[in-house]
Amino acid sequence: MFADRILETPLHAARFVSLIPFQRLEAIGKDRVEVWHSVQSFLSRGCGDSEDHAVLLCNLLLGFGLDA
């Protein structure tokens, strides 16, 4: 285990991502707006849709050496 990690285990990473609020972008007259945000943008906004959550979780799991 690395001493400088904030998230100690993959379970902690999954919990962290699950605590970020879900918010889907919608436009008038359309069901859904398809926008892919960078991880930095997603974290600074403090909310995102399912793709944002999935990308962040996969990046964190890859950081733990898991096959994501």
Q: Token pair for residue 60? A: 């964190």
Note the pLDDT of residue 20. 96
Render pLDDT for 51-67 as a digit per residue (tens, 0 to 9). Answer: 999 999 999 999 999 99
Render pLDDT for 16-36 as a digit per residue (tens, 0 to 9). Answer: 999 999 988 777 776 677 778
Q: What mean pLDDT is reported for the chain?
A: 87
Q: Token pair for residue 29? A: 């007259």
18 phi, psi to nearest 5 deg: -70, -20
Instruction: Report CA 41 to chain centroid distance, whole Å.
Output: 10
